[in-house]
Chains A and B, each alone.
Chain A
Amino acid sequence: MSKHKIIIEPGTENSNYWRDLWNYRGLFYFLAWRDILVRYKQTVIGILWSVLRPFVTIVVFTIVFNKLGGFPQDGDVPYAIMVCAGMLPWQFFSSAFSESANSLIANSNLLTKVYFPRLIVPASTVIVSLIDFLISFVILIGLFVWYQYVPDWKILLLPLFLLLAMITAMGTGLFIAALNVKYRDFRYVIPFIVQFGLYISPVGFSSSMIYNHENIPQYLKYLYSLNPMVGVIDGFRWCILGDNTALNISGFILSIIISILFLFLGIWYFRKTEKSFADVI
């Protein structure tokens, strides 16, 4: 019985934190399963929504940026494929980020009635977005077929950049989720970040437009690559568009560093505040 010995004291760090988290993986799985089940209950077209929304956005972006705005594509890849390669990770990030940032508030009834490692709640929402992402991947395949485009071997590296997108979404999501428990201001900040992020990330346009632009000073280019989603999207394009696009290495490394920094910041702040969640939520 002594293996279940628990000591509850104020202020002490739980030394079994990560083991505890592992023991509760069943709950993690069930929460993700619940959110996936609930997501499209009582809808007519159900899971099609996760394809339809990005698809329509891709069409609109292609028309607005390429046909009307005359933005150039990378190499000779169809513009729609380029937008799609940016839109899918962006949609994943924005939904994973906003869902996880709101997850603690949305599950406040659980937080105040049951014990479990709180990290499970935001983490499980990322899984839901991940599944949406995988489903929406059929758009990209559809575009490959439509334009008869064959990607090269680099597409096999895509999971690495997906991981980077997950790290980015997790880190920022955890941080905002913990802040949101105490300061409900973040309820309003989250949609703003998602909307603003779409403009400063290379979703509808190519990063090379920024990096190769002569009139943009160097410091602004660095500022641009501080956005971790720039690294993620550029990575996706590098995998999907092959030789048609070049990866800006310094900007890319900066993005990775920022992503990982956010992950540590998120976990640190989350762990620091999670003991008082049930008191203040």
Chain B
Amino acid sequence: MSNTVIKIENLSKSYLLKHQQTERYSTLSETLVKKTRSVFNSKNSSNKTVEEFWALNDVSFDVKQGERVGIIGRNGAGKSTLLKILSRIVAPTKGRITIDGRVASLLEVGTGFHPELSGRENIFLNGSILGMNKQEIQRKFDEIVAFSEVERFLDTPVKRYSSGMYVRLAFAVAAHLEPEILIVDEVLAVGDAEFQRKCLGKMKDVSGEGRTVLFVSHNMAAIQNLCDKAVYMKRGEVQMIGDSEKVISTYLKGSSANAEMNLADRNDRSGNSAIRFSSVELKDTSGNILAAFQSGKDAVLNLKFDRIKGKEIKNLHIAVAFDDEFGQRISHMNNEITNEIFNSIPDDCNEVEVHIPRFPFKHGLYTFSLYATVNGELADWLNEAGTIDVESGDFYNTGKQLPDGQGKFLFQYNFKLPSKF
């Protein structure tokens, strides 16, 4: 019974990026003006501001019935776009997908929840949005309520729920879907650890019943736990498909082994390019290139940039922000708060260094974003520029580690008795 239920053939999706335009929608007058203009100068109106961006590029793979497939890759690798096309929310630009079976997709927890409605009402509403019919919801109602643990608040408007209750209720509805194919995007990033475990368990049960699951996550442990097969995507292309352990280890190596991260080809950036980040290197204080930082060891982040020849750089302001694997902002480094703005950069200099004594993050993967202004104007802004792998280290010089699940951040402190004793 291992017939193919999802067949993806040469799937591509392109978006037109309009530069210098912050709003995705246009106004009618703008369109009219542009159309009229292009009527008058028909030949030389090469519209430079529009650029084609391929969110997915020639993606092909098959999923067989009952398989649990994890899709991994950095942010912007095209995972969510792929799920959106599979869910028929957006249309592909090229290629073809054949799906055999009832699909339910869960791209967000609590889609369509209405804050004014009670928990009970929202169960029905959300259930029907996810594709259940009324009888189905009524049949499973008690089960959903029990799973969500919000019995006492069923008739309270969900706007008065705590965020934990809200997520639990929303996931409870979703967990009781009975499709043949379940598509799930990073929904476990919310909720407390215990509830996450419960959800993972539920998803495992679901797939135990012969259902096919497609699961996107940044949580490698969850993928490893749940999926037997994984697809590693990079910049809209499939990099590797296979046994999930192998794919995950390749992915982790791939994202940290390139100790020098090349940014020159990245197009998903904004700014006037007075400087343009070209690569990032992890180093130690002696200048050796590192594959990863280690908690508690002095670290140097070397940022190289391209600049416009002969043009001087004044008032260079740089910020580096770190997010954890759930996209949660951890911290932010910034030479403005430290009063270290570079008044001018020598003509032959194209790099800056950030020295971080005793690197304070716990082991894990951290995504960083880069931001620079020159003379007060945005020069380069690169969201999710790269990831930094942090290995466990002896931050407290005691040989002991902060246990997992106790936060990401390490800092110096001392326990003492008050001085009068």
Residue B48 lies at the interface, judged by CB distance under 8 Å to chain A: no
Contact between A10 and B92 (Cβ–Cβ < 8 Å)? yes
Contact between A30 and B111 (Cβ–Cβ < 8 Å)? no
Contact between A4 and B92 (Cβ–Cβ < 8 Å)? no
Given A38-B116, A42-B116, A113-B111: A185 and B98 interface contact (C-beta under 8 Å):
no
Given A27-B128, A27-B129, A183-B31: A7 and B98 interface contact (C-beta under 8 Å):
yes
Contacts of A275 in B (CB 8 A): 90-91
Given A5-B100, A183-B27, A185-B28: A113 and B88 interface contact (C-beta under 8 Å):
no
Residue A139 lies at the interface, judged by CB distance under 8 Å to chain B: no
In the bound complex, what is the Cα–Cα distance between A186 and B26 (angstroms)?
11
In the complex, residue of chain A having the shortest beta-carbon distance to the beta carbon of B8: A8
In the bound complex, what is the Cα–Cα distance between A139 and B130 (angstroms)?
40
Contact between B134 and A113 (Cβ–Cβ < 8 Å)? no
Which of A26, A33, A109, A186 has the most C-beta atoms of chain B within 10 angstroms of its own C-beta? A26
Contact between B97 and A8 (Cβ–Cβ < 8 Å)? yes
Contact of B25 among A5, A42, A112, A183 (CB under 8 A): A183
Contacts of B125 in A (CB 8 A): 30, 33-34
* Contact code string B94-107 (vs A, CB < 8 Å = 1, else 0): 11111111110101
Contact between A26 and B100 (Cβ–Cβ < 8 Å)? no
Min CB gap A106→B, angstroms:
11
In the complex, residue of chain B having the shortest beta-carbon distance to the beta carbon of A111: B89
Min CB gap A92→B, angstroms:
24
Contacts of B114 in A (CB 8 A): 34, 38
Contact between A276 and B91 (Cβ–Cβ < 8 Å)? yes
Contact between B121 and A114 (Cβ–Cβ < 8 Å)? no
Residue B371 lies at the interface, judged by CB distance under 8 Å to chain A: no
Contact between A280 and B112 (Cβ–Cβ < 8 Å)? no
Contacts of B27 in A (CB 8 A): 183-185
In the bound complex, what is the Cα–Cα distance between A185 and B30 (angstroms)?
10
Residue A271 lies at the interface, judged by CB distance under 8 Å to chain B: no
Given A6-B88, A30-B125, A115-B105: A183 and B26 interface contact (C-beta under 8 Å):
yes
In the bound complex, what is the Cα–Cα distance between A1 and B107 (angstroms)?
24
Min CB gap A188→B, angstroms:
10
Residue A19 lies at the interface, judged by CB distance under 8 Å to chain B: no
In the complex, residue of chain A having the shortest beta-carbon distance to the beta carbon of B157: A41
In the complex, residue of chain A having the shortest beta-carbon distance to the beta carbon of B133: A26
In the complex, residue of chain B having the shortest beta-carbon distance to the beta carbon of A6: B99
In the complex, residue of chain B having the shortest beta-carbon distance to the beta carbon of A14: B88
Residue A250 lies at the interface, judged by CB distance under 8 Å to chain B: no
* Contact code string A169-185 (vs B, CB < 8 Å = 1, else 0): 00000000000011111
- B: contact size bracket: 35 or more
Min CB gap B171→A, angstroms:
15
Contacts of B112 in A (CB 8 A): 109-110, 113-114
Residue B15 lies at the interface, judged by CB distance under 8 Å to chain A: yes
Contact between B94 and A183 (Cβ–Cβ < 8 Å)? no
Contacts of B130 in A (CB 8 A): 114
Contacts of B305 in A (CB 8 A): none
Contact of A280 among B25, B97, B157 (CB under 8 A): B25
Residue B334 lies at the interface, judged by CB distance under 8 Å to chain A: no
Tell me the residues in window 98-155 of chain A with beta carbons closer than 8 Å to chain B beta carbons: 109-116
Contacts of A279 in B (CB 8 A): 15, 90
In the bound complex, what is the Cα–Cα distance between A42 and B118 (angstroms)?
12
In the bound complex, what is the Cα–Cα distance between A182 and B119 (angstroms)?
34
Contact of B101 among A4, A27, A114, A184 (CB under 8 A): A4
Contact between B101 and A1 (Cβ–Cβ < 8 Å)? yes
Min CB gap B178→A, angstroms:
13
In the bound complex, what is the Cα–Cα distance between A111 and B112 (angstroms)?
10
Contact between A9 and B96 (Cβ–Cβ < 8 Å)? yes
In the bound complex, what is the Cα–Cα distance between A233 and B12 (angstroms)?
51
In the complex, residue of chain A having the shortest beta-carbon distance to the beta carbon of B86: A8
* Contact code string A1-23 (vs B, CB < 8 Å = 1, else 0): 11011111111000000000000
Residue B29 lies at the interface, judged by CB distance under 8 Å to chain A: yes
Contact between B28 and A30 (Cβ–Cβ < 8 Å)? no
Min CB gap A156→B, angstroms:
33
Residue A281 lies at the interface, judged by CB distance under 8 Å to chain B: yes
Residue B139 lies at the interface, judged by CB distance under 8 Å to chain A: no
Contacts of B116 in A (CB 8 A): 37-38, 41-42
Which of A42, A112, A114, A280 has the most C-beta atoms of chain B within 10 angstroms of its own C-beta? A114
Which of B88, B96, B114 has the most C-beta atoms of chain A within 10 angstroms of its own C-beta? B88
Contact between B100 and A4 (Cβ–Cβ < 8 Å)? yes
Contacts of A184 in B (CB 8 A): 25, 27
Residue B67 lies at the interface, judged by CB distance under 8 Å to chain A: no
Contact between B111 and A110 (Cβ–Cβ < 8 Å)? yes
Contacts of B117 in A (CB 8 A): 34, 37-38, 41
Contacts of B38 in A (CB 8 A): none
Contact between A8 and B92 (Cβ–Cβ < 8 Å)? yes
Contacts of B108 in A (CB 8 A): 113
Residue A260 lies at the interface, judged by CB distance under 8 Å to chain B: no
* Contact code string A182-224 (vs B, CB < 8 Å = 1, else 0): 1111100000000000000000000000000000000000000
Contact of B89 among A11, A38, A42, A113 (CB under 8 A): A113
Contact between A5 and B99 (Cβ–Cβ < 8 Å)? yes
Contact between B89 and A112 (Cβ–Cβ < 8 Å)? yes
Residue B384 lies at the interface, judged by CB distance under 8 Å to chain A: no
Min CB gap B189→A, angstroms:
15
Min CB gap A193→B, angstroms:
15
Min CB gap A124→B, angstroms:
11
Chain A interfacial positions (CB closer than 8 Å to B):
1-2, 4-11, 26-27, 29-30, 33-34, 37-38, 41-42, 109-116, 181-186, 275-276, 278-281
Listed by A's residue number, 5 A-B pairs whose Cβ atoms lie within 8 Å are A4-B103, A8-B98, A30-B125, A37-B121, A281-B25
A9-B97, A34-B114 given; name 18 further pairs at CB < 8 Å.
A1-B100, A4-B101, A4-B103, A7-B96, A8-B86, A8-B99, A9-B95, A9-B96, A11-B91, A29-B128, A37-B116, A113-B108, A113-B112, A115-B88, A115-B105, A182-B26, A186-B28, A279-B15
Q: Nearest 10 CB-CB pairs, A to B?
A: A115-B88, A30-B128, A8-B97, A183-B28, A113-B111, A185-B28, A6-B99, A275-B91, A41-B116, A278-B89
